[in-house]
Amino acid sequence: MNNLLTTEKDLQHCFRTLLNSCILLIFCLILSSCSVLQPVPGTFVDLKKIVPGIEIDLSYYGNHNFLGRPVDGYKREVAYATLEAGFALQALQKDLQKEGLGIKVFDAYRPQQAVDHFKRWAKDIKDTLAKATFYPEVDKRNLFKLGYIAERSGHSRGSTIDLTLITLKDKKELDMGSPFDYFGEKSHHNYRHLTETQKVNRKKLRTLMDKHGFKALDEEWWHYTLKNEPFKDKYFNFPIK
């Protein structure tokens, strides 16, 4: 009889343990789901909503980029940035509109999952789908060494913007001498073999960005980071959706 009671107690204990484990598993799955579907932080803003007339053309949302395909994390064509960067761009746009010009954004906030996608792609040496357009002069094996691909990106902190200038009348991009995301010397600010018009256009963009609190990246004429960015050491990973 005692043996039967002991066995019954053991079974009850095992059942309770199993039940608790199931509850814990369900709780973990819920937390995991919440992490994947995390909302946009309140410190970020949709640039379209605060910068009148801004043009958004997120290259990584579609196929026209150095991968040749949509990038992980870009579920919608929405350009997010920190409030501080957004208000700085708002002031910039206001200045430009006096000259019949505006800004066009190629990329703003970039999820870490997108950066991870870049890293996986860079390690696949055989995948050169978009080489002729974006890196014809660069050996893909050197992308990490040359700094074109990195473990992390300032874009993931929310205050780095890739952009150009356009005319408000017809939305035409000003000639900057190389396309966005072109891997090569012609994208560098100090590239000498530019036409006078291209030099003037690059200088105008850099001067205005500096005026409104952004610093340039020497190797990419389109890349600017807010000098007083609010998240200097924090990298976000919420998807653009």
Annotated binding-site members: 155, 162, 223
Q: Note whether 45 and 83 are within 8 A (CB).
A: yes
The distance from CA 173 to its chain's CA centroid, rounded to whole angstroms, is 21
One-letter amino acid for residue 31 of the chain: L
One-letter amino acid for residue 191 of the chain: Y
| Token output for 42 | 């309140």
- C-alpha 217/C-alpha 104 separation (Å) is 18
Active site residue 220: yes
Give the DSSP H or E segment for 155. Answer: none
Neighbours of 147 (CB within 10 A): 12
| Token output for 107 | 């990329």
Helices (H), 70-219: 83-97, 112-123, 131-134, 196-211
Neighbours of 46 (CB within 10 A): 17
One-letter amino acid for residue 26 of the chain: I
- Among 55, 84, 220, 229, the active-site one is 220
Residue numbering of the annotated binding site for Zn(2+): 155, 162, 223
Identify the CA nearest to 176 among candidates 199, 193, 154: 199
Give the residue carrying structure tokens 């196929």.
Answer: 63
Positions marked catalytic: 220
